[in-house]
Chain A
Amino acid sequence: KAETCGYQSCPQVDPTKLNVHLVAHTHDDVGWLKTVDQYYYGARTDIQRAGVQYILDSVVDALKDNPQRRFIYVETAFFWKWWLEQSLERQQLVKDLVNEGRLEFTGGAWSMNDEAAVHYHSTIDQFTWGLRKLNDTFGACGRPHVGWQIDPFGHSREMASTFSRMGYDGLFFARLDYQDKAERLRQKTTEMVWQGSPNLGKSSADLFTSVLYNHYSAPRGFCFDVLCQDDPFIDNTNSADYNVDEKVNEFVSFVLQQAQSYTTNNIILTMGDDFHYQDASMYFKNLDKLIKYVNAANESL
């Protein structure tokens, strides 16, 4: 079967329109308020309602249901625990999803490491460990192309250099100084080429870097996770609660606002948050409708 992952599997963009890239994701801390195993199995819900095994189970089902859907997964420590518990049939299904670019690894290290208190040696070791598992399991289609450091509290130049030298093509993150962010949004310098090293040869440690707009969360009103309180799309015109026109307008106004701070006719929207997608169908069902109704409304313009 021909591999159609990576850049080959990308959707067509329309150069005459504002292209809104919906990125369904879950931010799964490898230990925080709970231990790694408590997070994985979903124990101690009194502390935090989070169970990664349910996330991966339901995401795979949701991806199987609709070939248009995409999901990125980041933390190989959790993925590997889950992978070892799957049947051969389930593993083959996941391999197919990865080979078709429907499930894509982003970041791909054992965890999303801190950038302030780490030693670069440990950073490389934990990347090697995560990337080796992905490579041994999925081959070329398991290879992440971009860094995804959405939560670390500040970012080091050495990390940019390391990403570049590991062959990554870009980096996305959310946390930068609030004044820096405000200024970058105003000046449209939210995206840049980060020159990771003053020592390595010209451009050999350069890394395209993009600052995410809305932290790493979905726009207000469009969080469809089981952990959120936003209304779903109610698209039956006979329903007293029909809300499609209102939601489409709200969404379009958000993306036009965001587009003002970026320079191409592409923007990225992070549709997820901490330990989201424990019930992936709930999220994806509404994203399917979002895509359908927003595109339908904009075709008539």
Chain B
Amino acid sequence: YVNNSRVNVFYSTPSCYLKAVHDAGQTWTTKQDDFFPYASDPHSYWTGFYTSRPTLKRFERLGNNFLQVCKQLYALTDLGPEDWVDLN
């Protein structure tokens, strides 16, 4: 982008890069949709994993359901930190 070829290299982080870009005060294009499907080349569409290992996928959803039930019962019983040891 820059017309000169003078380069300034330094250690940074993604948030510091974000700050520098923000400070540049530009306006950006917008996006409303998603980034699916992902294809890494013309014959590699990464859509198989939407359904791979269906049993494991189901177990996770069910596990999430159980976790919410546990959290709600935990809240209802008004247990404090002193009771944590009994739950282990």
User: Which A residues are within 8 Å of any B CB, using their own CB?
Assistant: 6-7, 9-11, 13-14, 16-24, 68-70, 72, 101, 104, 106, 114, 116-117, 119, 121-122, 125, 144-146, 148, 153-157, 169-170, 172-173, 175-180, 188-189, 191-195, 198, 208-210, 251-252, 255-256, 259-260, 262-266, 268, 287, 290-291, 294-295, 298, 301
Give the docked Cα–Cα distance between A7 and B12 (Å): 11
Interface: B33 (CB within 8 A): yes
One of A9, A154, A192 near B28 (C-beta < 8 A): A192
- Name the A residues within 8 Å of B31 (CB-CB): 192-195, 209
Knowing A265-B1, A268-B17, say if A70 contacts B28 (CB, 8 Å). Answer: no
Q: Is the CB of B29 within 8 A of A189?
A: yes
Enumerate 8 A-B pairs (CB-CB under 8 Å) in ascending A order.
A20-B8, A70-B13, A121-B68, A155-B35, A155-B36, A156-B36, A157-B34, A175-B38
* In-complex Cβ contact of A264 among B24, B30, B39 (8 A): B24
Task: Name the interface residues of B37-75: CB closer than 8 Å to any CB of A.
Answer: 37-42, 46, 49-50, 57, 60-61, 64, 67-68
- Pair A21/B16 contact, Cβ less than 8 Å: yes
Known: A7-B15, A154-B38. A18 touches B30 (CB 8 A): no
Q: When the two chains form the complex, which single residue of B20, B28, B64 contacts A266, counting CB atoms closer than 8 Å? A: B20
Q: Which residues of A contact B34 (CB under 8 A)?
A: 154-157
Chain A residues, Cβ within 8 Å of B37: 154, 177
- 8 tightest CB-CB pairs across the interface, nearest first? A21-B12, A154-B38, A10-B16, A155-B35, A264-B24, A17-B8, A145-B15, A153-B46
Contacts A119-B61, A169-B15, A178-B40 given; indicate if A21 touches B4 (C-beta within 8 A). Answer: no
Q: Is the CB of B14 within 8 A of A146?
A: yes
Whether A21 touches B28, Cβ cut-off 8 Å, given contacts A153-B49, A154-B35, is no
Residues from chain B with a CB closer than 8 A to the CB of A172 are: 14
Note all chain B residues with C-beta closer than 8 A to A266. Answer: 17, 20-21, 24
A101 to B16 CA separation, bound complex (whole angstroms):
10
Given known pairs A179-B39, A194-B31, the reply for A10 and B5 (CB within 8 Å) is: no
B58 CB, nearest partner CB in chain A, Å: 11
Contact status A195-B30, CB under 8 Å: yes
A178-B41, A266-B20 known; A70 and B8 CB under 8 Å? no
Nearest-CB residue, chain B, relative to A25: B14
Main secondary structure of the interface of B (DSSP, over half): mixed
Asked if A301 and B18 sit within 8 Å, CB to CB, the answer is no
B26, CB-defined interface residue at 8 Å: yes
Contact of A106 among B8, B13, B30 (CB under 8 A): B13
Inside 8 A of B64's CB, which chain A residues have their CB? Answer: 119, 121-122, 125
Task: Report chain B residues within 8 Å CB of A13.
Answer: 8, 20, 23
- State A169–B9 Cα separation when bound (angstroms): 24
Q: A70-B11, A172-B14 are in contact. Are A178 and B67 (CB under 8 A)?
A: no
Given contacts A106-B15, A178-B40, A298-B6, whether A193 and B20 have CB atoms under 8 Å apart is no
**Is B85 among interface residues, defined by CB-CB distance under 8 A?**
no
Q: In whole angstroms, how far apart are the Cα atoms of A287 and B24 in the complex?
A: 26
Q: Is the CB of B76 closer than 8 A to any CB of chain A?
A: no
CB pair B29–A193 under 8 Å, yes or no, is yes
